[in-house]
Amino acid sequence: MYATITQQILSGLASFFTNASLSGGSLATNSIFAVHTAQGNYAKALIIASSRSSITFQYTTFGATSGGGGGGGPTITQILNNYGLIPAGFANSGIAQGSLFIIKGSGPADPNAQALPLQDSSKGLPTTHNGASVKIVDANGATKTPVFYYAIASQLALVLPSDTAVGTAQVTASYNNQTSAASLIQVVQSAMGFDAYYGAGTGLGVATNNATGALYNYGNSIPLGTTVVLWGSGLGADPQRDKTFVGAAFPINGLVHVYVGGVEAPIVYQGASGYPGLNQVDITIPVNAPTGCNVSLVGVTAAGVPTNFLTLPIGTGGCSDPAFGITGPLFQSLSAQATVKTGSVALFHSVSPATSGSGTQTSDLAVASFQSTSGASLGAAARRSRSPVASSARPSAAQASRLPQPDWMPEPSPSTGRLETPL
């Protein structure tokens, strides 16, 4: 168990670390504990002997030795699907062959580097960028070199080569003649991550009209029966597009089901979008799907592994959830306010057979929730829009993408094969 704990796993558990002291009872032989420093470094320790007066343990530090990420060298804290952002340890956290993934950390590239413009895939994405390079040793011991969309001081965005062997792989990042400690990933055949509107891997999903490329949002709901394009990465291997834009359609049938509001949606096309690592899934919204501002969306593989869970606005015009008093226009109006305070109160009353004896028993429950957020973040989705892309360059739908970190919405140019920012 101790040997399998990596820096990536520890960084995914960051919210569980505490300043509380460890009790003596928790330091028994074979116990494992982890450390997260104020500077953001991690360590793991295994108790190998324990007595009333002392303990003996072995430990491993991450990013604290030369050549291992310390001394100004790069460190890796997380490796994630670019869209799903599922942390390591979950069944759907694997990095699929041919997928677009990100490496988070410190010092992996020129500290003054800018993410924009993104690298031009029509010319072939580079294997080094802004001084950064990445090596992957796969489960077969073969070394693979992924290509870059961007490289900045805190993050790298790359495409995993389609011929990377399935299984555990070691990832290292190098910059300025220094190499990070190896971080482990699970390479899988398919692990689709859908693009989320806010770039958080959850919440409102990115869906565009199949015919026009127009982006749906809270102010522009998806009518029932409409065919839409969902964007993301991780359907599976696509060797022809590992480095270069290729516009021809190429089915990659990584998903066997897509559910909208719990109702199965017909999959019209799933596969390549043209851009390295970027997939599209075209579905038709079922006519019997529920309507509202936050209708659930999830895809499932043949092995039963789900994508990340998102929501879609389903209906006509501005979305509406009458039961909660929420509408698309309301989001738009609230977005102009500096601060928006919201709250909900729910009252539950039930009468059921008594658990003992005869008669009935009555239960009453009250639940209240209140929060404050900025109007800009609340209404961002209702204000954003995306220009449609000419249909002549797409395999079956408008080309669109959003690299969620750093926070911007690049637009793909069908003439150049480059992901670009809107004017």
- What is the chain's pLDDT, residue by residue, as a tens digit (423 residues)? 777 787 778 877 777 788 877 776 667 888 888 888 766 778 888 888 777 777 777 778 775 443 333 345 899 999 999 999 999 889 999 999 999 999 999 999 999 988 777 888 888 999 999 999 999 999 999 999 999 999 998 999 999 999 999 999 999 999 999 999 999 999 999 999 999 988 889 889 999 998 888 999 988 999 999 999 999 999 999 999 999 999 888 999 999 999 999 999 999 999 999 999 999 999 999 999 999 999 999 999 999 999 999 999 999 999 998 877 788 778 767 767 888 888 878 888 888 787 777 888 888 888 888 888 777 666 544 444 433 222 222 222 333 333 333 233 333 333 333 343 322
* 156 φ/ψ angles, rounded to the nearest 5 degrees: -125, 145
Q: Which of 157, 172, 182, 122 is nearest to 233 (CA)?
A: 157
Model-level pTM? 0.71
Distance CA 413, CA 389 (A): 8
As a whole number of angstroms, the longest Cα–Cα distance in the chain is 79
Q: Which of 299, 230, 209, 234 is nearest to 260 (CA)?
A: 299
Q: What is the CATH number of the domain that holds 174?
A: 2.70.50.70
Task: Single out the residue in 172, 188, 204 at which a domain terminates.
Answer: 188
DSSP category for residue 2: G
Q: What is the DSSP string of 195-220?
A: PBTTSSSSEEBPEEETTT-PBPBTTB
* 362 φ/ψ angles, rounded to the nearest 5 degrees: -110, 135
The verdict on whether omega for the bond into residue 276 sits within 30 degrees of 0, i.e. cis, is: no
Q: Is residue 68 part of a domain?
A: no
Do 150 and 293 share a domain, yes or no?
no
Task: Single out the residue in 157, 188, 219 at which a domain terminates.
Answer: 188
Distance CA 410, CA 272 (A): 18
Task: Single out the residue in 188, 217, 247 at which a domain terminates.
Answer: 188
Range of the structural domain that residue 248 is part of: 193-320+379-420
Distance CA 400, CA 208 (A): 8
